[in-house]
Amino acid sequence: MKLSFRWYGESDPVKLEYIKQIPTMDSIVTAIYDVPVGEVWPMDKILALKETVEKAGLKFDVIESVPVHEDIKLGIGKRDEYIANYKQNIRNLGAAGVKVICYNFMPVFDWTRSQLDKELEDGSTALVYYKDQVDALDPLNSNLSLPGWDSSYTKEQLAELFAGYKSIGQEGLWANLEYFLKEIIPVAEEADVKMAIHPDDPPWPIFGLPRIITCEENVDRFLSLVDSKYNGLTLCTGSLGCANFNNMERLVDKYSAMGRIHFMHVRNVKLLEDGVSFEESAHYSGCGSLDIVKIMAALHKNNFDGYLRPDHGRMIWGETGKPGYGLYDRALGASYITGIWETLSKLK
């Protein structure tokens, strides 16, 4: 296992030198954030970012993420031009030494929560998803400000996107994902860069938009679209684990045994009584609904040697900054995870 940490660049209040102080920390997970979606990342920007990371004594191995343009997901417009640009990004990142690219295929919106700063019983704040709050929203007639939602779209553009996805449905989205994979995976093989799709978060349709990387059956279907070790997973325990129909220990065991997990996001969630709502929690198994010890044991049993990062944490000890991405709770999560790994290694 290679321990890694998400970093949002020079504007991130979490400094690289602080991340380096976390025991066994290996790599930084980052990206270039000032290039429009669909465009080629300039090589000089990639190399400057690499230099910054490596000067801090950390590796530049994982990119999260290279976003996929909506034309690719919808199979319209400038799809082939954007795919050509995506291929060049894979080549450029591979030439810079990147080993894994994380991406997702979620329509319009990335991970979705209804609150950024819900105060929990211990006084910390966390990201939460409450069904009643989400159900009360109308994405086409309100000014939404939720994590994962692209505020750059006008209401008219959103309406067009929603209509487009309604037209193609789930099977159309599957077809467009297959087209994309068959184009990019041969390039990833040549560049020796493993592509790792992130599951949909949460793993069910949001506002009628189709979502397809949601469960074991669909992950199996995804992996079969292009049967290559370079076509793999970012297995996020919180994204799939917030649905009670997903058995995370089974999924981690199955896909790590197959060698198709290239990147792990490990976090815990507390599932609420309605079966849909959830709260993000501390990583410790006793705080949430997922058994992190059993998840790590499945990885260890299968000799997982990919990248793993502690995912979203609470905001604790008065820390401010990007919700879910403070230093303190993610550092605690990293120590908890590596403690489990060390124990498993010594008991083997």
Q: What is the pLDDT of residue 140?
A: 76
**Single-letter residue type at 163:** A
| Mean of pLDDT values over 220-247 | 97
* DSSP symbols for 52-64: HHHHTT-EEEEEE
Higher pLDDT, 112 or 281: 281
The residues assigned a catalytic role are 198, 236, 265, 311-312, 325
Q: Residue 104 in contact with residue 68, Cβ under 8 Å?
A: yes
Percent above pLDDT 70 for the chain: 97
pLDDT at 332: 98
Query: What's the mean pLDDT in 251-278?
Result: 97
Tell how far CA 116 is from the center of its chain.
Answer: 17
Question: Which residues, listed in sequence order, are joined to residue 196 by a DSSP beta bridge?
Answer: 102, 232
Q: What is the pLDDT of residue 112?
A: 87
The pLDDT tens digits for 26-41 are: 999 999 999 999 999 9
Total-model pTM = 0.95
Side-chain-side CA neighbours of 32 within 13 Å: the count stands at 20
Write down the domain spans for the chain. 2-347
What mean pLDDT is predicted for residues 206-212? 92
Reported as a single tens digit per residue, the pLDDT across 112-165 is 888 889 999 999 999 999 999 888 887 776 555 555 555 667 778 888 999 999
Query: Looking at the domain 2-347, which fold is it?
Result: TIM Barrel (3.20.20)
Q: How far apart are the first and last CA of the chain?
A: 15
